[in-house]
Amino acid sequence: MRTDPAAGPTTPTHRRQGTTTTTTIDRTQDAAALSPRRAALVAGTGYVALFAFAIFANFAVREAMVVAGDAARTAANIRDAEGLFRLGLVAFLAVFLIDVPVAWALYVLFRPVHRDLSLLTAWFRIVYTVFLGVATVSFFQALQLLDDGAFLAVFTPEQLDAQVLVALDTFDATWRVGLLAFGVHVVLLGRLALRSGRVPRALGWILVFAGLAYMADTVARAAFVDLPGLQSFISALVIAPAVVAEGWLGLWLLTKGGKVSTARGNRSPE
């Protein structure tokens, strides 16, 4: 090691300066990072918005206007209320965008509980979000088929109506594949909630059950023939725990989330 009689060793000094600089940068980054409370507020606000947009888009628009197996009625419903159908499309686009910051905020909130598991949970939600975005393309396709008169030169009105129904059925199939990933996300989120020691245990278990219901819905629709009443039973099995779990989670996030760190015994930096 080279030394200077007057100044003493130089290399260790450089190392100490580098360490000091790095520590200062780390502290600045920590101060600018999203706090658990703010992360909970971002996620909770997102859940409220998702709840409203998803219910409107799925139940007030898609299920109200799409008649399974009846292309003529489905196309007529959309033509008669095209403005409503477009609003449903906009609502699905809003869900697609809002899900990204919600996934990020939940990761930040539950990162102290288990960093790797929280990251995996966020990734499964992002996978679902990608599938929803791809599915929404079919809504655009259905509108294009109905609005562009050039298609009448190639297809009969009955064939166009059938194409519209196929596009909307493609939306449903793509979305349900995404919901399989969403179900895994909700199960893992419930697991994080149970490990945190701060989220009510009942909420954690309801999240796990709701996630399993989402997964069972997609698998059942893929594996079994559509029997009379089967789809209604499966839908009820999914909707009931999902509404309770996600509604309760959104309320908890807004009122209590992050006020005390989700890691056991640690207070939030706020």
pTM of the model: 0.81
91 burial class (0-12, 13-18, 19+ CB within 10 angstroms)? buried
Alpha-carbon separation of residue 109 from 103, 104, 105, 168, 197 (angstroms): 10, 9, 6, 36, 13
CB burial string 61-88: b at 16+ within 10 A, e below? bbeebbbeeebeebbebbeeeeebbeeb
What is residue 226's predicted lDDT score, i.e. its pLDDT? 67
Between 121 and 11, residue with greater pLDDT: 121
Q: Which of 43-47, 196-200, 238-242 comes out lowest in average pLDDT?
A: 238-242
Task: Read off the pLDDT of each residue in 167-186 and give the average, rounded to a whole number.
Answer: 95
What is residue 84's predicted lDDT score, i.e. its pLDDT? 95
- Per-domain residue ranges for the chain? 36-255
Alpha-carbon distance of 243 to 61, in angstroms, equals 18
What is residue 149's predicted lDDT score, i.e. its pLDDT? 67
Alpha-carbon distance of 78 to 72, in angstroms, equals 10
Q: What is the largest CA-CA distance in the chain?
A: 95
List phi, psi (to 5°) of 195: -75, -25
Please name which of 269, 258, 268, 267 lies closest in space to residue 37, comparing C-alpha atoms: 258
